[in-house]
Amino acid sequence: MITIAIVGPESTGKSTLAQTLATYYGTVSVPEYSREFLTDLGRPYRQEDLLTIAKGQLESEKIYRKRANERLILDTDLFVIKVWSEFKYGNCDPFILQLLQMNLADFYLLTSPDIPYEDDPLRESPNDRGRLFDIYHQELVEANVSFKVVQGSPEYRLRQSIKAISEVI
């Protein structure tokens, strides 16, 4: 099974792209586990909660993998948790880093912050999307993973993604 992970700053169209790609390929999209976790938390999250979120994300991937066809679309992956932890707290739990290395996707789509920001109670950094995008880009390069930056309208992002996936996988 091929895994395609969508990563990038908040409010850059990751969920929309994940859902449209899943529809296009007739498969499933694994939702971002942190949304469920944070909505039910009942208190401000702490850095140590990120490990719980990482484990929950991987568990969700296992569950959805059973329902997927040849491709599994990830609305996010552990790169997002790593980048966010380092951005917000200055470091990342070593176990999250280990889990990331053991669970790299086959291909990554990095969403550009070139679309309007949509406010959401779980989002924290509307003014840092450009800086975070640069961090994601650098992290993907340093990890030596296959990825494509997607930008523009949702329709254009979908076309770019399908083209890139067909060229790589």
pLDDT by residue for the chain (169 residues), tens digit each?
Answer: 999 999 999 899 999 999 999 999 999 999 999 988 988 888 888 999 999 999 999 999 999 999 999 999 999 999 999 999 999 999 999 999 999 999 999 999 999 999 888 776 666 676 789 999 999 999 999 999 999 999 999 999 999 999 999 998 7
First to last CA, the chain: 11
Which amino acid makes up residue 14? Answer: K
In the numeric block, the tokens 């909660």 are attached to 49
Strand partners, 73: 4, 29
Task: Dig out the tokens for 30 from the structure.
Answer: 């694994």
Q: What CATH code is carried by the domain that includes residue 75?
A: 3.40.50.300
Which residue range(s) make up the domain with 143?
2-168
Give me the count of residues in the chain: 169
pTM: 0.94
Q: At what angle do helices 78-89 and 49-65 cross, to 10 degrees?
A: 170
| Cβ atoms of 4 and 74 closer than 8 Å | yes
